[in-house]
Amino acid sequence: MDKITLQKAIDLDEKIKKLNEALESFEWEDPENSNKKYSRNPQLIIESDDGDDMREEYIIPFALSEEFIEILKAEIKKKRDQAVSEFNAL
């Protein structure tokens, strides 16, 4: 394996780890049974500047938050699977 391929493998491995960490913020896996996944029941919060050097938080309603979270999870899984395929092709 040449240096360029090795660096690409290292970069992809790091990307896969970060995407898995992102998924873990939404759900966790039973350590004794990897087929069991549990939701962390996350709720999205939008944080923005209020104009006075302070931060203001807006809590997204739970029903809407659940929809956004499903979209985010699907996209993260898609990107992770692409990175894994790319890694395995090296």
pLDDT digits (tens, 9 = 90+) for 2-32: 999 999 999 999 999 999 999 988 888 888 8
- What global pTM score does this model have? 0.78
Domain positions in the chain: 3-89
CA distances from 48 to 33, 65, 66, 87 (A): 40, 17, 21, 37
**According to the model, what pLDDT value does residue 40 have?**
85
- Residues 15, 29 contacting (CB under 8 angstroms): no
3-state secondary structure at position 80: helix
Q: Which amino acid is at 90?
A: L
- Using only C-alpha atoms, the chain has a radius of gyration, in whole angstroms, of 18
**Please, which pLDDT band fits residue 84 given cuts at 50, 70 and 90?**
very high
29-69 pLDDT, tens digit per residue, is 888 887 888 888 888 999 988 778 888 999 999 889 999 99
